[in-house]
Amino acid sequence: MNIKKICCIGAGYVGGPTMAVIAQKCPHITVTVVDINESRIDAWNSQNLADLPVFEPGLDDIVKEARGRNLFFSIDVDKAIAEADMIFISVNTPTKTYGKGKGMAADLKYIELCARQIAKVSQSDKIVVEKSTLPVRTASAIRSILDNTGNGVHYQILSNPEFLAEGTAVQDLLFPDRVLIGGDNATDEGKKAISDLVDIYANWVPRDKILTTNVWSSELSKLTANAFLAQRVSSINAMSEICENTGADINEVAKAIGMDSRIGPKFLKASVGFGGSCFQKDILNLVYIAKSYGLNQVADYWEQVILMNNHQKQRFSDNIVSTLYNTVSGKKITFLGWAFKKDTNDTRESAAIMVADNLLNEQAEISVYDPKVNAEKIYADMDYLNTRSSDENRRLITVHDNPSQACEDSHGIAILTEWDEFIDYDWGNIYESMNKPAFVFDGRGILNKKTLEDIGFVYYKIGSGE
Ligand code: UDX
Ligand code: ADP
């Protein structure tokens, strides 16, 4: 099969940018991204590129180049499936909130719905590519649905996990460390499907960076990569607490260990805790898989990465309370940043959410400024916790689109996201507008201690014991 038409089901943080780059690099292939969420599709089709539903540096230019040429966004899911030679599944796989595996296993209902839809609509042979992060052996579930409810159509299932990180998605897609493609390499049809997908990536990725494996290795590699990355963050965060108690500095420790070529310098930035849609979900998934095979020590080992992350968020808010004379009741605390990292408007699992929840439990009033996150999303994140009523969240949290206002009359500023613009603020002016003593709790370690202390702030930096 020569791939001429691609359909991608799911126009989210993964599907949107990935398909935009495929379309840009493969002008000979028509790429249609479909979603059941009409307003999301409308936003992808928006003439004003600032309104795209996903904020990623560089994405607007790529969409501008390819959209309407060979990149299309549509809600006509059936049509796009029927016409496609290759179908990517990029729907969400959140952690289950009900039943067996609640709070741990990935909820595959969206994946299953996609598989059933493909089976119902397809009249010609298809290659189905799993792009969503999935528990190992999901491909066999998809195969079983396609083979048993289909109409004589032949399917090949490939696993092609996404390693892009938000905020750098476009660069990660254009210059990936590697592309991983898992498939049925024991049959000729399977090998052919693998090579069809390899050929697509080979339009811009050097062939020696395109790895092919069996399906299970590919699926497990995604979980493993995220577990290892998250583990590095929890490891450095564990050391940050030791630093604060011993007078060491976590940045100096990170630099010293990162120069060991066996360890390397990346993912050693101490923080208020990792967030994002993948790390926690994938580790919980791994823990669930380990437990389901009776591998309890393996499960406990990985679970500790999550427990450490929860502890880091908790101790950050505890420190704010104890520093502000053991009470934040009625005090205004300003959050600079709400996104789970800089350069994204995504807030899924952001550390800010738990820190805010803890402080609201202590009766604080919170004001928030984030350059890319709007009030609606912040309230939705808090409402989702169900800790208090939606009215109460709106009463206790004020969202500003101006950082100076957010900091006015504040007792303490907490930095939750490492947005570059925070570094260059006029901290002298901010100090003047605050209650004294004025505190800064730098959960990302981005500000200069001496500068802030010279202005008059009481400055706490994560991982600094000086
Ligand atoms: C991650 C993986 O990196 C990516 O390969 C996968 O496809 C999806 O999950 P993402 O969640 O977008 O990507 O962001 P990432 O850059 O990995 O950061 C995750 C979290 O860890 C963020 O909250 C970030 O602030 C935090 N982090 C990261 C640290 O606290 N310290 C670090 O040194 C690195
Ligand atoms: P990710 O970060 O994995 O891309 P998102 O939640 O951003 O996750 O995107 C997943 C998208 O998949 C959502 O926009 C959702 O509406 C869409 N989706 C889920 N199920 C289906 C389905 N059966 N058909 C079409 N789109 C779907």
Q: Encode pLDDT of 131-145 as tens digits.
A: 987 777 788 888 888
Single-letter amino acid code for the residue at 66: A
Contacts of residue 265, defined as CB under 8 A and 6 or more positions apart, other chains included, come to: 254, 255, 258, 259
Phi, psi of 87 (to 5 degrees): -120, 120
Supply the Cα-derived Rg of the chain in whole angstroms.
24
Cα of 427 vs centre of ligand 2, distance in Å, is: 41
Task: Return the pLDDT at 316.
Answer: 98
92 lines ligand 2 (CB under 6 A): yes
Residue with tokens 């994560």, as numbered in its chain: 462
- Do 210 and 178 contact (CB within 8 A), yes or no? yes
| Distance separating alpha carbons of residues 210 and 176, to the nearest angstrom | 9
Contacts of residue 228, defined as CB under 8 A and 6 or more positions apart, other chains included, come to: none
Residue with tokens 């590919």, as numbered in its chain: 218
337 lines ligand 1 (CB under 6 A): no
From 7, 26, 114, 278, active-site residue: 278
Q: Give yes or no: 8 in active site.
A: no
Strands (E), 197-352: 210-214, 332-336
Task: Return the pLDDT at 139.
Answer: 83
Q: Give me the residues of the chain with pLDDT under 70, please.
A: 1, 150
What 3-state class would DSSP assign to 18? helix
248 lines ligand 2 (CB under 6 A): no
Ligand 1: which of 229, 251, 313, 373 to mutate, most ligand atoms within 8 Å of CB? 229
Cα of 209 vs centre of ligand 2, distance in Å, is: 28
The ligand that comes nearest to the alpha carbon of residue 180 is: 1
165 lines ligand 2 (CB under 6 A): no
419 lines ligand 1 (CB under 6 A): no
SS3 content of the chain, % helix, strand, coil (to 5): 45, 15, 40
- Do 371 and 451 contact (CB within 8 A), yes or no? no
90 lines ligand 2 (CB under 6 A): yes
Task: Return the pLDDT at 105.
Answer: 83
Cα of 374 vs centre of ligand 2, distance in Å, is: 21
Share of the chain above pLDDT 90, in %: 90
- Do 88 and 37 contact (CB within 8 A), yes or no? no
Cα of 338 vs centre of ligand 1, distance in Å, is: 15
